């Protein structure tokens, strides 16, 4: 069974902002990043259990998982999944204040 992939608005914005940042340094790297993120979404839809659970005491974040963008290990994908859908919640650079961002 192939899960559908839903990308939340905040994750779309994260992807866009990361691509803009990378494009300033290298347009090719930005294109590779966007493609790698989309390829990773497909991979996660097939194997969502591969990501580790994001540990948080915040009730809204209890079922959140995290995995990196392939080839861009410092960019983290935060997601949830059900039997039929993978929900991409956020895509964040690893050095950001992730806990604050996710809890807000």
Three-class DSSP category at 84: coil
pLDDT in tens, 1-44: 679 999 999 999 999 999 999 999 999 999 999 999 999 999 99
DSSP 21-81: HHHHH-HHHHHHHHHHHHHHHHHHHH-GGGSEEPP-S-GGGTT-EEEEETTEEEEEEEEEE
Distance, CA of 20 to CA of 59 (rounded, Å) = 33
Q: Where are the domains of the chain?
A: 4-96
pLDDT in tens, 45-67: 999 999 999 888 887 888 999 99
Fold for domain 4-96? Answer: YaeB-like fold (3.30.2310)
pTM for this model (two decimals):
0.93
- To 10 degrees, the CA torsion angle through 3, 67, 103, 61? 50
Three-class DSSP category at 89: strand
């Amino acid at each position: 069974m192939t899960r559908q992939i839903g990308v939340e608005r905040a994750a779309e914005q994260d992807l866009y902002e990361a691509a803009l940042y990378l494009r300033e340094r290298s347009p090719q790297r930005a294109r590779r990043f966007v493609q790698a993120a989309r390829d990773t979404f497909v991979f996660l839809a097939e194997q969502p259990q591969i990501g580790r659970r994001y540990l948080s005491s915040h009730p809204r974040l209890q079922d959140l998982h995290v995995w990196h963008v392939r080839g861009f290990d410092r960019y983290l994908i935060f997601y949830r999944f059900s039997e039929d859908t993978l929900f991409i919640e956020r895509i964040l650079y690893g050095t950001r204040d992730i806990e604050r961002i996710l809890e807000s």
